[in-house]
Each structure stands twice: as C-alpha cells, then as structure tokens.
Amino acid sequence: MNGASSNRMEEGRRLRHLSDVRVGEIVRFMGVEHGCALRMRLVAMGLTPGVPVRVMQRVPGGPCIVAVRGTRVALGRGMLDRIIVENAE
C-alpha cells in the first residue's frame, strides 16, 4: 500500500491507518505501508489481510492494545501509522 494520506478511497472502500481508529471500534486489517519486515512480524502475530481487529486500549502518544483472533496484541505508535485498515461492515 502506498501513499501518505491517512484517509483515502481505494476500490470503493474507506481505508485509513490503524492510528486513526477509536477505542472499541472494529476494523479489518488490509496491509502495511512500506516494510516487508513489519508485514512478516504482523503475520506472526495473526494479523493477515481481512482479519477483524478491535482497538481495546490506547495510551496517548504510545502503544495500542488490539484484539485479534482471540488474543490481545500491543502495537507501537510507529506500527499504527503504517497499518492500513478498512471499516468492518
């Protein structure tokens, strides 16, 4: 996924960064901007394209706790800014 805008329309879907998602909201993981190593790390944590993700907790300016595949994962702020999600409908 390429582009610097945090909100965009692609293929008729509303895509945004995980850093823009509010606590309690459920979104669908779509991919990662810039980084094969990060993509592989997220796959190891269960974050694969299409999987639902729920934001459980946020620390202002810090990490975020998300629920994915029945477990909770902590993601750093830098990761959140590179993870692309879409609204889960």
Q: What is the pLDDT of residues 55-73, one digit of tens each?
A: 999 988 889 999 999 999 9
> With the C-alpha atoms ordered 72, 27, 43, 39, is the resulting torsion angle positive or negative?
negative
In this predicted structure, the answer to whether residue 37 has a pLDDT above a threshold of 60 is yes
pTM (predicted TM-score) = 0.80
Residue 38: partners with Cβ closer than 8 Å, 6 or more residues away: 32, 79, 82
Q: Where are the domains of the chain?
A: 7-87
Q: Would you say residue 89 has pLDDT above 80?
A: no
- Decide if pLDDT at 46 tops 50: yes
**Interatomic CA distance for residues 32 and 28, integer angstroms:** 12
- Between 9-13, 20-24, 66-70, 71-75, the lowest mean confidence (pLDDT) is in 9-13
Return the number of other C-beta atoms located less than 10 Å from residue 26's C-beta: 15
CATH of domain 7-87: 2.30.30.90
pLDDT at residue 2 above 90? no
